[in-house]
A = this chain, B = another copy of it.
Amino acid sequence: MLEHVTDADDPRLSDYTRLRDVELRKSLEAERGLFVAEGEKVIRRAIGTGHPIRSILTTRRWLASLEDVLGDATVYVASDEILSGVAGFQVHRGALASMERLPLPSVESLLKGGGRRVLVLEDLVDHANVGAIFRSAAALGVNGIILSPRCADPLYRRSVKVSMGAVFSIPYARMDDWFEGLTRLREAGFQTLALTPDQHATPMDTIMPAERVALLLGSEGDGLSSRWLEEADETVCIPMSAEAMAAGVDSLNVVAAAAIACHELMRSANEFP
């Protein structure tokens, strides 16, 4: 159902208001139970993984590229100017979709799912980092992701985009009871590895991972909370070069560190099956 829109303030476009305004989007998306997918590829993945379409907002030029997946969805067609006017930035990929959020699994069901590799993200604040970690996780054999209560939303537009849609394919859950989190992971049979820049920790490439491993990653600035660092079965690090240490380079960014750690888990599982 095509509807032409000629006014950026048209209330029918309110799902797409000011997409870079994180505070506004948090409350708006929570209230309406929606998220926004951007660009043809990501929209296709969102639809393909069963998310119902609330509406699509696109330009005439990009409409054709999506036509085969639209079904009977409501499609608003507007100019580039109106798209940018509503969204609050230049929408280069010319297509936005407002999609319904699906209920998240509980932590229990996610842990019982038989997956062998789980990431646990504590209080990451940067949506691009969350998206990039989901993308790496999906490529490197991670079966599920658990988020701390304050960890940034994987379905925020920018997370979704940076993840290339991996946020739809890898199951994740929000752990409400963070205090008892490690206990629950252990009860479910997971070895808990806490990643730290501290070079006195066990080098990640010498780990012999257990059958089931939960890798704990901390926030961009401060890393893991001391409680999680202390209570984990083992603290692990990515070894840095001697020159780096001497020059005061003190850590990798969390996306790089997560990628290396996931790669090492996959590699060592192949070596010691």
Contact = CB atoms under 8 A, between A and B. Distances in A.
A208 to B, nearest CB: 16
A141 B243 contact: yes
Contacts of A263: 205, 238, 260, 263-264
A136 interface: yes
A252 B205 contact: no
A244 interface: yes
A140 interface: yes
B252 A255 contact: no
B247 A169 contact: yes
Instruction: State the number of copies, please.
Output: 2
Interface string A115-148: 0000000000000100010011011110000000
A37 to B, nearest CB: 16
B253 A256 contact: no
A67 to B, nearest CB: 21
B132 A255 contact: yes
A241 B162 CA distance: 20
B259 A140 contact: no
A132 B136 CA distance: 15
A251 interface: yes
Contact of A251 (B139, B244, B267): B139
A267 B203 CA distance: 11
A166 interface: yes
A28 interface: no
A267 B205 contact: yes
A244 B162 CA distance: 17
Given A169-B247, A205-B267, A141 B241 contact: yes
A166 B255 contact: no
Given A169-B249, A267-B205, A135 B256 contact: yes
5 contacts: A135-B253, A141-B241, A239-B266, A239-B267, A255-B256
Given A139-B249, A259-B259, A259-B260, 5 more contacts: A136-B252, A139-B251, A141-B240, A162-B253, A239-B267
What 6 pairs across the A-B complex have the smallest Cβ distances?
Answer: A141-B241, A256-B259, A136-B256, A260-B263, A139-B240, A139-B244
